[in-house]
């Protein structure tokens, strides 16, 4: 499963990219606003930090203006992935852009039917929001299972990009189901490293090593 970071903070992306575990980045208007920086500038910097897709979202709601915004965004870098909402106009834009060879991430997916439409429109990625789904009394993982089944039934190329990931269980369950990608805040990705037995093991090894009085350097 590919790991994308859901952030627009350059320092966090640099830190994760240094591990070699980061496959891409997703941004949205809210994350850009939180960074307090210029949209085009920060997107360009992110694209230079990672080789994989960097999702940059249009803000228009009509197809014609989405296309104009996409034309500006995809000139930022070759790895820009245009992010569009799961609406009729968004899918029109998706179809036009992917037909031209541009990567497209269809976002704000909350049903398997919507995911089916995104795949038929040629989306590179579809982003079901599992955390927000959970917040509204549904099971976000059931949504991922349904999408995986449908996509496998018809051999769609669209990759399932699990979004709105809140904790490590979302990551684990997404991997079990066979999602292609998950995007999460850096703090969630870093929490995957944590285990009390790892910490205890390191503590024990260091204590025993200190008792030998030796040094590697």
Q: Are the C-beta atoms of 126 and 119 separated by less than 8 Å?
A: yes
Long-range interactions of 187-192: CB distance < 8 A, separation 24+: 189/3, 189/5, 189/16, 189/21, 190/16, 191/167, 192/168
Parent domain of 175: 2-212
Mean pLDDT of the chain: 97
- Provide the pairing of β-strand 54-57 with 24-26: parallel
As annotated, the active-site residues are 83
Helix 112-120 / helix 88-99 crossing angle, nearest 10 deg: 30
The CATH number of residue 200's host domain is 3.20.20.70
151-198, pLDDT tens digit by residue?
999 999 999 999 999 999 999 999 999 999 999 999 999 999 999 999
119-161, pLDDT tens digit by residue?
999 999 999 999 998 999 999 999 999 999 999 999 999 999 9
Q: Does residue 165 fall inside a structural domain?
A: yes
Block residue for tokens 């066979």: 178
Q: What pLDDT does 94 receive? A: 98
Mean pLDDT of all residues in 36-40? 93
Q: Does residue 217 fall inside a structural domain?
A: no
Q: Please give the structure tokens belonging to residue 187.
A: 């703090």
- Burial of 1 by CB count in 10 Å (0-12 exposed, 13-18 middle, 19+ buried)? middle
Q: What pLDDT does 93 receive? A: 98
Q: How many domains does the chain have?
A: 1
């Amino acid at each position: 499963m590919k790991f994308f970071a859901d952030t627009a903070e350059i320092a966090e992306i640099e830190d994760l990219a240094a591990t070699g575990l980061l496959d891409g980045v997703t941004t949205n208007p809210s994350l850009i606003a939180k960074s307090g920086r210029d949209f085009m500038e920060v997107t360009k910097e992110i694209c230079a930090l990672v080789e994989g897709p960097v999702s940059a979202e249009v803000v228009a709601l009509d197809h014609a203006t989405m296309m104009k915004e996409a034309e500006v965004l995809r000139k930022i870098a070759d790895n820009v992935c245009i992010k569009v909402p799961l609406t009729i106009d968004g899918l029109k834009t998706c179809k036009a852009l992917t037909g031209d060879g541009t990567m497209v991430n269809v976002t704000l997916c909350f049903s398997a039917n919507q995911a089916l439409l995104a795949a038929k429109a040629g989306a590179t990625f579809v982003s079901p929001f599992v955390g927000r789904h959970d917040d509204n009394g549904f099971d976000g993982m059931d949504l991922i299972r349904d999408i995986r089944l449908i996509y496998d039934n018809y051999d769609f190329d669209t990759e399932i990009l699990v979004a709105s990931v809140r904790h490590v269980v979302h990551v684990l369950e997404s991997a079990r189901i066979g999602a292609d990608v998950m995007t999460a805040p850096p703090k969630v990705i870093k929490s995957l490293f944590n285990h009390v037995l790892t910490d205890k093991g390191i503590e024990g090894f260091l204590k025993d090593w200190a008792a030998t009085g030796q040094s590697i350097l």
